[in-house]
């Protein structure tokens, strides 16, 4: 079984519902005289896990941070995207891709409230 199939099966069996709000490039509306920003919304499942105590360094990883693995949502998640999970809004602070045969198949997100 490929790594992509293994991850997909784990997420399907044990994952929780979540929503990612991916912010796209900003523009400027000259009529309204204000910046505009579009967003892409993805709803799916993710597999959460706690950050281990020995990973907490007080700068890039803080107490209370979580990791959540998602399958490729059709865009590359980025830091500062929002993730709705457990009734709260989390901020994506780091993204790590998992590759299978040179193609990104899933992402492990470090999220913070």
DSSP assignments along the chain, one per residue: --HHHHHHHHHHHH-EEEEEEEEEEEEEETTTTEEEEEEEEEEEEEEEEEPPGGG--SSSS-TT-EEEEEE--SS---TT-EEEETTEEEEEEEEEEEEETTEEEEEEEEEE-
pLDDT digits (tens, 9 = 90+) for 60-103: 999 999 999 999 999 999 999 999 998 999 999 999 999 999 99
Q: Which residue reads 């590759």 in tokens?
A: 99
The model's pTM is 0.86
* Cα distances (angstroms) measured from residue 87 to each of 28, 61, 76, 96: 32, 22, 23, 24
As a whole number, mean pLDDT of residues 34-42 equals 88
Structural domains of the chain, with CATH: 3-112 (2.40.10.270)
Please tell me the distance from the alpha carbon of residue 102 to that of residue 113, in angstroms, as a whole number: 32
């Amino acid at each position: 079984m490929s790594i992509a199939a293994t991850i997909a099966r784990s997420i399907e069996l044990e994952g929780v519902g979540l929503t990612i709000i991916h912010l796209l490039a900003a523009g400027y509306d000259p009529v309204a005289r204000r910046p505009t920003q579009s967003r892409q919304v993805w709803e799916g499942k993710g597999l959460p896990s706690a950050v281990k105590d020995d990973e907490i360094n007080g700068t890039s990883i803080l107490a209370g941070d979580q990791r959540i693995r998602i399958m490729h949502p059709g865009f590359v998640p980025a830091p500062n995207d929002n993730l709705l999970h457990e009734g709260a809004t989390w901020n994506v602070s780091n993204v790590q891709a998992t590759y299978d045969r040179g193609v990104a198949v899933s992402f492990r997100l470090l999220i913070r409230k």
